[in-house]
Amino acid sequence: MPELPEVETTVNGIKPWLENKRIQKINVYNPSLRWAIPDDLPEKYLTQKITSISRRAKYILIHLETKATLILHLGMSGSLMIINNETPLAKHDHFEMIMDDGTILRFNDPRRFGCVLDSQDFKNHKLIYKLGPEPLLPDFDGQYLKKKSLNKTQAVKNFIMDGHIVVGVGNIYASESLFIAGIHPNKPAGKVSLAKYKQLALVIKQVLAQAIQSGGTTLKDFINADGKPGYFAQELKVYGRKDLPCVNCGKKILQKTIGQRSTFYCSLCQK
In the complex, the residues that contact Zn ion under the rule CB under 5 A are 246, 248-249, 251, 266, 268-269
Residues 6+ apart with CB under 8 A from 237: 176, 179, 180, 247
Helix (H) or strand (E) holding 245: none
| Minimum CB distance to Zn ion, residue 264 (Å) | 11
Instruction: Please say which residue, 68 or 254, places its beta carbon nearer to Zn ion.
Output: 254
Is 2 designated active site?
yes
34 catalytic residue (yes or no): no
Q: Which is nearer to Zn ion, 194 or 268 (CB)?
A: 268
Nearer to Zn ion, 223 or 249 (CB): 249
Q: Which of 3, 6, 8, 176 is catalytic?
A: 3
Catalytic residue among 5, 6, 55, 58: 58
Distance from C-alpha of 10 to C-alpha of 4, rounded to nearest angstrom: 10
Q: How far is the CB of 248 from Zn ion (least distance, A)?
A: 4
CA distances from 252 to 17, 162, 216, 267, 271 (A): 47, 28, 33, 9, 15
Q: Is 96 in the active site?
A: no
14: which residues sit within 8 A by CB, 6+ positions away?
53, 60, 80, 82, 105, 222
Phi, psi of 107 (to 5 degrees): -110, 125
Residue ranges of alpha helices (H) inside 47-150 are 142-149
Question: For this structure, is 191 an active site residue?
Answer: no
| Least distance CB 182 / Zn ion (angstroms) | 9
Collapsing DSSP states into helix, strand and coil, what is residue 119?
Answer: strand
How many C-beta atoms surround the C-beta of residue 5 within 10 A? 23
Q: Please, which residue, 154 or 248, has the CB nearer to Zn ion? A: 248
Q: Indicate the residue among 203 and 269 with the shorter CB distance to Zn ion.
A: 269
Q: What is the DSSP letter of 253?
A: P
Least spacing, CB of residue 241 vs Zn ion, in Å: 11
Q: Which are the contacts of 44, defined by CB distance < 8 A and separation ≥ 6?
A: 68, 118
Q: How far is the CB of 213 from Zn ion (least distance, A)?
A: 26
- Stated length of the chain: 271
Catalytic residues: 2-3, 58, 261
